[in-house]
Chain A
């Protein structure tokens, strides 16, 4: 029988749906009977979802402007050579 500790070891694969059908079923059965593991899986999920919210930061306009500048400079120097190639 699947114990709480075994479940913790495959919890990450369970969350991602990477378990085999039989393993997946035994996790589901365990979760039906075990409140602690339900909390654990819920929290593991929630803590990884945090990362999505956390990384939603954007680079500032200043960086984008600097990239635009370098790109347009680079395009200028490359364009004539490309034309010669064609």
Chain B
């Protein structure tokens, strides 16, 4: 995993955290907070997410002794954040129903004819690089809008897997879903993002 810290370095960092070494905490806060904040943002608005991440670090001080290193430190931290967010949502809002149904998004399914061939094929090749596309502020805003419209678990699955490059088993672990349900979540979320980007490329509108 290219985003993972080298095991030896991670091992000595964890040791230092267990000792309560404040320099180690400063380092860890810098290394791991961006990912933790991103996880929290799947569930919560910006300021609540920042709040949760702060609280989690205090939790870490008490819980790090119990960390056995079966999962990586990043996965462990992300799971703490996800659980806390879920608890917060549970206490404040309705439980979000998760759609694990397979198949195609209606908007995509309509584009095939009765024989299963493309009736309305994808027209344009998305040729610009991801980085240059993201310099387009309007696209970035549009992506934000569509991501926040995705059902919570679809969004979380997509972001953990795609944006934070967690392994499938870690995502299943963090989100508490089965491997086959993760496949469905990714499948559905990707179709929606694909449709959004296509519309944006064709019309310049969100």
Binding site for B on A (CB under 8 A): 3-6, 8-9, 11-13, 15-16, 18, 36-37, 39-40, 42-44, 46-55, 57-59, 63-64, 66-68, 70-72, 74-75, 78-79, 82
Contact = CB atoms under 8 A, between A and B. Distances in A.
A39 B198 CA distance: 11
Nearest to B185: A12
Contact of B29 (A6, A12, A57, A68): A68
Contacts of B121: 36, 39-40
Contact of B61 (A18, A47, A57, A75): A75
Contacts, number: 153
Tell me whether chain B's interface is mostly helix, strand or loop, or mixed: helix
Interface string B116-147: 11100111111000110110000110011000
Contacts of A58: 34
Contacts of B29: 64, 67-68, 71
Closest 9 CB pairs of A and B: A3-B116, A36-B121, A55-B163, A12-B187, A46-B126, A5-B116, A53-B130, A5-B112, A47-B197
Contacts of A72: 22, 25
B146 to A, nearest CB: 10
A63 B37 CA distance: 10
Given A39-B124, A43-B126, 9 more contacts: A3-B112, A43-B198, A48-B162, A50-B139, A52-B130, A57-B38, A59-B37, A71-B61, A74-B61
Contact of B162 (A51, A66, A74): A51
Contacts of B168: 16
Interface of B: 20, 22, 25-26, 29-30, 33-34, 37-38, 50, 53-54, 57-58, 61-62, 102-104, 108-109, 112, 115-118, 121-126, 130-131, 133-134, 139-140, 143-144, 158-159, 162-165, 168, 183, 186-187, 190-191, 193-194, 196-198
A6 B117 CA distance: 9
A75 B117 contact: no
A53 B191 CA distance: 18
Contacts of A48: 158, 162, 190, 193
A67 B20 contact: no
A30 B140 CA distance: 33
Nearest to B158: A51
